[in-house]
Structure 1
Amino acid sequence: MTVTLMWEAAAADDQGAELLDWARRQDLAGAPERVEYLTAPGDRVLVITWWDAPYGAELPELPDPPPDLVRRQVHRWRFVSVAVRS
C-alpha cells in the first residue's frame, strides 16, 4: 500500500523562497519512496511524500516551520493511492 502525506504552508510576506528552502533542508527519518516540492501563488509551499506503508502507520512528517516564516498554521493530509495513470 502507498500512503501519501501532504504538508502545505503559506509563507509570511515575501518569505516564499525562504520557506521553500527551509522545507527542502528538513530530514525525514526513514526513506520515503518519493518526495516532491511544489509552490503556488500566494507564496504557498506544498511537500508530498510517498511511503510504502499501511494507512495508519506512524510516519515521519515535516515539522512546523519557524513562526516568522508562515502566516498561518500548517495544513497536513494523509491519503492512500488507489490508482496511477500516465
Structure 2
Amino acid sequence: MWEARAVPGRGEELLAWVRRQELASEPLRREILRAPQDRVLVITWWDAPYDAELPELPEPGGELVTRTVHRWRFESVS
C-alpha cells in the first residue's frame, strides 16, 4: 500500500502523476483511490510471498507532496 498527501490544491495533479507510473512488473491488481485533504492511495495485489522483492511506486517530486510517501505491506489472511 502506497499513500501520499499532495500540497493543498494539487490532489488532481498527484492523482494524474500516480496514473502515469509504471512498475517493472505488473501486479495481479492495482487500485487507485483518493480521499479528502488531497490524499492518494494505491493498493497492489501480488502473487508472491510476503517478503518477496516487489517493485514500488517512486516518491513524487517534493514540490508535489507535503511529506514523504507512506508504504505498508500486508498479507491476505482469508
TM-score bucket (shorter structure): over 0.9
2:18 partner amino acid: A
- 2:47 is matched with which residue? 52
- 1:66 is matched with which residue? 61
Provide the alpha-carbon RMSD of the alignment.
Answer: 0.5
1:33 equivalent in alignment to 2:33: no
- 2:74 is matched with which residue? 79
- 1:16 is matched with which residue? 11
Which structure: greater strand fraction?
1
Instruction: List 4+ stretches of structure 1 deviating above 3 A.
Output: none
Unaligned runs of 5+ in 2: none
Deviation at 1:13, TM superposition (A): 1.5
1:35 partner amino acid: R
Q: Deviations over 1:21-74 (max 9, x none)?
A: 001100001120000000000000000000000011000010000111101111
Structure 1 vs Structure 2: percent identity of aligned residues? Answer: 68
TM-score (norm 1): 0.89
